[in-house]
Amino acid sequence: MDGARPVDDVGLERSGDFSYDEGAAVVATNGGQSLTDVVGGRGIAFNYSRNQSFVDYGYPAAPPFDGSKLWVCEAAHATDDTSASPATMGIGCDMTGGSSGGGWTVGNTVYSVNSYGYSNQPNVMYGPYMGSVAQGLYNSAQAG
C-alpha cells in the first residue's frame, strides 16, 4: 500500500498476548490533506478508568451474523479476563468472529477494540485495556 507503513516499535505484534491486541499505521497525506481531514476520525484514550459505558461497533460474520451489516452493542464494563496480563476488559455483547478491531467508544473517543471471546461466554466480548504500552505505540506512530 503506497504511503502506509506498519509501526512496530513496541515489538508485540507476534507475542500472541491479547493484552496487546492493538496496532497503528502511519498514512501519508494526499495533496496536503490527512486521512482524517477527508473522512473524519475519533480521539483515543489511554490509562482511563475501566468503569465506563461503551458503544461497541463491529461487523460480526460468524453465525447468526453474516458480516454484511454494522452492529452496535451498548454495554458497561462487566468483567476482566485476569488470565491476560494486564487484564483485558469484558463487556456484554453477542458479536461473533469478524467483529475484531471494531472500536469501543465513549463519546467520540476510542477506549478499546473488539479482540476475542470464549465459546462458554457467548455474550461477552473482550478487548485490551489501552494503557502505557498502547500509548507508547500511538506516540511512536505520531512521531513517524
What's the total number of domains in the chain?
1
In a domain, 86, yes or no: yes
In a domain, 36, yes or no: no
Q: Which residue has the cell 497525506?
A: 29
pLDDT, tens digit (0-9, with 9 covering 90-100), for 46-90: 999 999 999 999 999 999 999 999 999 999 999 999 999 999 999
| pTM (global) more than 0.95 | no
In a domain, 104, yes or no: yes
Residue 35 makes CB contacts below 8 A (sequence gap 6+) with 27, 41
Q: Binning pLDDT at 50, 70 and 90, where does residue 16 land?
A: low
CA distances from 76 to 2, 68, 81, 90 (A): 39, 26, 15, 9
Q: What is the mean pLDDT of the chain?
A: 87
Q: What whole-number distance in Å separates Cα of residue 97 and Cα of residue 19? A: 18
Domain assignment of residue 82, given as a range? 4-31+41-143
Instruction: Tell me: pLDDT of 13 over 60.
Output: no
In a domain, 63, yes or no: yes
pLDDT, tens digit (0-9, with 9 covering 90-100), for 17-38: 789 888 888 889 999 999 999 9
Question: CATH no. for residue 74?
Answer: 2.40.10.10
Kindly state the cell numbers that stand for 88: 483485558
pLDDT cut 70: percent of the chain above it: 89
In a domain, 108, yes or no: yes
Q: Binning pLDDT at 50, 70 and 90, where does residue 94 land?
A: very high
In a domain, 54, yes or no: yes
Instruction: Tell me: pLDDT of 9 over 90.
Output: no
